[in-house]
Structure 1
């Protein structure tokens, strides 16, 4: 079955839709959560504005970088500059950021329920909030992992210790040369384990999580499922949005719910089984708690 990608308009945020979601959650045999960037934005992990200015004013002044996202793609002149940026970015968004309220609220809502989480977020917020890591599939990588930039092998490496050294010792937007990470196998520079091109490493843990996710879906085929899309926009729709639409359409017992401020919609084929809440995710989840 191929869904039309024309969508019905958002129903807007109203108590009736929140109540529909409450009822769907109570009736579901299991919940499949799809989490995008909007969930972390609602949790306070914003990449622009005051948070960016507070932590990267020197990079803005020197390089003209205007937000954290574009800073990751800036053509720095040296690896020392590149890792000065990335170490600060990683520390801020992965290691020194406590779990956000929406993640904690979601965990409480899922307590005692059968669930699995598919996410494109790379900030580790689910683990920090206390979600069972065996019920998580991080498809796009993790700020806390490095890989060979070539890559010459399919392994990733934890980076917290070196990242903290980089932040502590950097000066003038540069880290000491001896801290620049190199692949222990081929000697090439290390890179972030983030899916931004064809060199992304899918390590053993990635493949194990993918298998668990597929097994969860297969084990719940035809049952009353709630596909809950949180903050999923249009950047990578083939990972969460379109598959959730397709699986919801193929299972007449399934309900699809999208909570996304300014971008809540569903295909016309899901009319009657779709709940679209155009609201801040944190506020919507708190209303359910």
Structure 2
């Protein structure tokens, strides 16, 4: 059974304070043989990857004015009439969320927290912030894709199981719209520049292996490509779990909601239940909780991730 209850772990029959919960989490981090981080969209949001408001309007005011949507997600699903305009939208979306600088140092601070531990990261995020912030590539499993990869829109034959790095092509697209790219990858609107909402037809990406149009390597339907790198990361993750099956493992869940609980949340609960030496920690503003079965080996912190990491001294 699931509870949205940040006060499951009690101390002397009373609710634990924030400081007491931080103390529990600090002790579990210190004593753990291994840490498995489960990261959802809430972590990237806490790091500054907001998809609406000022950040959306800064880069997509022209699309908002023309089509009326108010956030990047909605724009990503809009049925544009041409591929030139589709990629006119998506090239900006991909650049600012995958190649431009990470908006804050939150991922770097998280790395400081676990860098001396035996750790592994399981994430549904597709912005590659972990690797860009210094996490070991061999300790990461991105289950839902990567903004930095293309795939065929109809993978099969020579394109089956294949993805394609897109940085060079996305760079050409955003430059073709009139943007400049700064020394650190920031997207810049030159003074008096007229920004286009379309890319030239010759920049619409076509798969080199099957001749079909390319699309983003994001899990949205059955055509999602799990390439060789994906399968290698999945095997490394399973091997990590096998090697630590009976050890003191801290399952540290950060910003994972109930959109896709079967990927991180429910497996973390199950693995904690199965291993009497494991401990589960959930940090999620407004959605912190755990199952009844592991309530005595859990701490649920209903606070912002940045605040929690700061309270841990990082």
1:124-163 superposed Cα distances (whole Å, 9 cap, x missing partner): 1001110000000000000000000001211111111110
* Aligned pair partner of 2:250 in 223, 226, 236: 226
CA contact (8 A) 1:121 1:138 kept: yes
User: How far does residue 101 in structure 1 lie from its aligned partner after superposition?
Assistant: 2.1
Alignment partner, residue 280 of structure 1: 304
Alignment partner, residue 70 of structure 2: 66
1:108-137 superposed Cα distances (whole Å, 9 cap, x missing partner): 011211000000000010011100000000
User: How far does residue 13 in structure 1 lie from its aligned partner after superposition?
Assistant: 6.8
User: How far does residue 10 in structure 1 lie from its aligned partner after superposition?
Assistant: 1.4
Alignment partner, residue 57 of structure 1: 61
Alignment partner, residue 6 of structure 1: 2
TM-score w.r.t. structure 2 length? 0.89
CA contact (8 A) 1:226 1:257 kept: yes
Cα distance in 1 for partners of 2:88, 2:25 equals: 44
User: How far does residue 173 in structure 1 lie from its aligned partner after superposition?
Assistant: 1.1
CA contact (8 A) 1:229 1:257 kept: yes
* Aligned pair partner of 2:126 in 122, 128, 132: 122
User: How far does residue 98 in structure 1 lie from its aligned partner after superposition?
Assistant: 2.5
Gap change, CA 1:13 and 1:102, over 3 Å in 2: farther
User: How far does residue 48 in structure 1 lie from its aligned partner after superposition?
Assistant: 0.8
User: How far does residue 97 in structure 1 lie from its aligned partner after superposition?
Assistant: 2.5
Alignment partner, residue 34 of structure 1: 38
Cα distance in 1 for partners of 2:100, 2:171 equals: 10
Cα distance in 1 for partners of 2:280, 2:131 equals: 25
Alignment partner, residue 181 of structure 1: 205
Alignment partner, residue 162 of structure 2: 155
Alignment partner, residue 283 of structure 2: 259
User: How far does residue 6 in structure 1 lie from its aligned partner after superposition?
Assistant: 2.8
Q: Which structure would you say has the larger Rg?
A: 2
Alignment partner, residue 86 of structure 2: 82
Question: What is the root-mean-square deviation in Å for CA atoms of aligned residues?
Answer: 1.2
Cα distance in 1 for partners of 2:134, 2:196 equals: 37
CA contact (8 A) 1:40 1:100 kept: no
1:58 match: secondary structure? helix
The alignment covers a number of residue pairs equal to: 285
Cα distance in 1 for partners of 2:170, 2:196 equals: 17
Alignment partner, residue 138 of structure 1: 142
Cα distance in 1 for partners of 2:119, 2:110 equals: 11
Gap regions ≥5 residues in structure 2 = 8-15, 178-194
CA contact (8 A) 2:48 2:103 kept: no
CA contact (8 A) 2:152 2:214 kept: yes
Alignment partner, residue 209 of structure 1: 233
Gap regions ≥5 residues in structure 1 = none
TM-score w.r.t. structure 1 length? 0.96
